Chains A and B, each alone.
Chain A
């Protein structure tokens, strides 16, 4: 039987001001933040006299545990505003207005289900397997008691009350709220949350001691920052696992027309499979002996009904504003959903600074790391988590629709399933010939390989029940540049 140490935090107000690294608003609050809040509660005021070796051991046990699951209420990012507070140097500048310093607040607002639902509790769950319970028990029980000393989580104004319990599987599963799980695999571009590791407690104590003694007479000694922590991505439990990917950008002056997306994808695939100039295929075989490069890199699946794991080669046309020209300046190579990211990391390192060549072996552009200022934001349009997505390049249906919309709908659902997206996650879909994006074209304008030429093609909009992470590509051409979707709008 697995037990769970459950530390629950109930916010006394609906705003949470905590920020993650780089000053971005954070939700849910990271496990490291909780660890620090628990420690602060245990050592504030007279409780610092009660600090003991047993308490220290309990915290050390906790820091060595795997990152917890989190069950959190829904929260939305609130409006940002700048606060001005006076510096505490009234001895130098008498007038308050002369010593104002600014701070930007960008809180999350917890969503109340209704007026009576005032309990905004979130829960952190550490699994304790049966065999570990005898040693873990005294630590877990001590932490349950210490949790009740928690006073705030986030900024000092984010007052909260804490509680600790030991729960069974069933009790843990019944906790209300959105469930988040730690994801340790490669996940580029996603926000990461700090988690404690071995020696986090010692590090916190050292940093705190340096902070408290930072002023020595008239001398200021800046305290060090925390360094003993790890960071992981937290995924909503109901969400699709992320899809690891590698991105590249073409040099200045090199761009391809969007209608050639399939040709660009073919060049990309050819480069990944290269066994002469760059010997990429050979290197892949050495690095991943259990994966057949014929399948994973080249996509030769020999008519298999279920696509085995393989790369998808996805050109990313420039979209998103009325003057966007839809040209291809960036490309993305994606692993299948839920893979561990190792293949994406390999291809990111391997293909950088290698040249794309067309079928006549002419060099067409070198693959660079993202270098334009706006590139990260452009790639986000294809990989961010969102509910509403629209096709940029048309979706090739996996069968003939006989010109009937109803049949096209059914084929589209089939294509969605084939792409690895759960059908019950889709709440609405739209098929049409007119493109959704400036720079996109009618489906008949797009180049297709011979085996896809006669299949019907549509532009598609999909609305999902829950936010789904990108990149999303659907249809018979989903591995070779067709059926690429982008985030439609923030939902």
Chain B
């Protein structure tokens, strides 16, 4: 137990040479290698790719709609024919990793905080801005979190770790109040290498031909025809649109655990920071190694490649990399030991305080004027 507990202590002390852990994990579509997957789609309005697409140039992954507006995948193409496509962004990966601490196997590692807002219940682990989110900053946890963020600003992350430790793991910015910024410790992204963007066409066919059956009159003009298509009363073609990508090389998840950011965490000035750092490190390792949600979006379900284990490297401050390995069971064992030593915060049930929120919404006339003037001079100084 002691060995499990202290095995990473050298990395958590301030004079260590180890700066980060990086992991690579190879993934494939659940349908098998070579299946088409659907990356996230972004608007490409007003970008060079949209201009090139409108000019008729080849722009892989960029699709024009009927109005000539572009959207598509985030694909970089290079002169040697290689290409890289973003499959899941840093922010999206963080939002997928954090909720694993709701699973039965891991929930005891973090305090479970649920906020009741009207008829809804929201888990803090699902909330976009984490411990800084408005839903929780206007709850009856507000004062505790205010204290916790202020303490973090002064170098003591202990209080925040007792309420919302995953905010330390994935980063947060208390933009509504203290302005404290917590750098992320864990970062993950999924990319596909050497891709071919595809198109697909589809056509909605109505259940019956309403016009031919005499149930509706024939449309007069394009506008009526479009309205009928929108309502499902006529054919609606969707030609030559986003069709996913074919991955010719590999799909890879690259994750980093920034030990420098982790070592910036401490408890009170007279307290040993190791317990806190072990705890957060344990949570980070679990987040890294746990089986991720495979379903990223419709048409994109990715699983680890069988017989191809993830690779791990230590990165030292001088850039040198060394191989190292940790299994999920080892990570979990460490995290449990660390959590036990740290003493995980109590579960909390909070209530969204709509009176506080409404009071913030109602401003005095003077305060509104002041605010408007301040915003105006900010705009003027920018231009």
Contacts and interface: CB of A to CB of B under 8 A. Distances in A.
Interface in B87-138: 89-91, 127-129, 132-135, 137-138
Given A44-B183, A48-B155, A8 B374 contact: no
Interface stretch (B29-37, B231-239, B265-273, B290-298): B265-273
Nearest to B122: A90
A312 B128 CA distance: 60
B269 A49 contact: yes
Contacts of B48: 80
Given A49-B155, A118-B321, A162-B317, A78 B133 contact: no
A90 B152 contact: no
Given A80-B49, A82-B45, A152-B183, A119 B321 contact: yes
Interface string A210-234: 0111110111111001000000000
A83 B273 CA distance: 37
Nearest to A149: B260
A309 B264 CA distance: 57
A109 B82 CA distance: 13
Contacts of A12: 20, 22, 187, 256, 258, 315
A222 B375 contact: yes
Interface string A70-91: 0000001011111101101111
Given A13-B189, A46-B266, A96-B128, A218 B360 contact: yes
Given A46-B155, A222-B374, A148 B19 contact: yes
Nearest to B258: A159
Interface stretch (B71-79, B208-216, B220-228): B71-79
Given A46-B273, A149-B260, A163 B76 contact: no
Dominant SS among interface residues on chain B:
mixed
A326 interface: no
Interface in A140-199: 148-152, 156-157, 159, 161-163, 165
A487 B257 CA distance: 44
A293 interface: no
B378 A215 contact: no
A78 B73 CA distance: 13
Contacts of B78: 76
B178 to A, nearest CB: 8
A150 B367 contact: no
Contacts of B74: 79, 81
A82 B187 contact: no
Contact of A151 (B175, B264, B363): B264
Given A47-B264, A81-B74, A163-B318, A220 B374 contact: yes
Contacts of A92: 134, 357, 361
Contact of B176 (A41, A48, A88, A150): A88
Contacts of B360: 91, 218
Contacts of B128: 85-86, 88, 90, 96
B154 interface: yes
Contact of B133 (A90, A157, A215): A90
A289 interface: no
B229 to A, nearest CB: 24
Given A151-B261, A161-B19, A218-B367, A225 B179 contact: no
A467 to B, nearest CB: 14
A150 B260 contact: yes
A10 interface: yes
Contact of A157 (B49, B138, B184, B313): B184
B383 interface: no
B381 interface: yes
B285 to A, nearest CB: 16
Interface in A1-43: 8, 10, 12-13, 41
B2 interface: no
A219 B374 contact: yes
Contacts of A78: 76
Given A86-B128, A149-B260, A219 B187 contact: no
B341 to A, nearest CB: 19
B45 A151 contact: no
Nearest to A81: B42
Given A13-B187, A119-B321, A148 B157 contact: no
Interface string B187-206: 10100000000000000000
A45 interface: yes
Contacts of B177: 215
Contacts of B135: 90-91
20 contacts: A8-B318, A10-B317, A45-B155, A45-B264, A45-B265, A48-B153, A78-B76, A80-B44, A80-B49, A91-B352, A92-B357, A109-B76, A109-B84, A118-B321, A119-B319, A148-B19, A159-B261, A218-B360, A219-B374, A220-B374
Given A81-B74, A222-B374, 16 more contacts: A10-B19, A12-B22, A41-B264, A46-B266, A49-B154, A76-B76, A80-B44, A90-B134, A119-B321, A121-B319, A157-B91, A157-B184, A159-B261, A163-B319, A222-B378, A222-B381
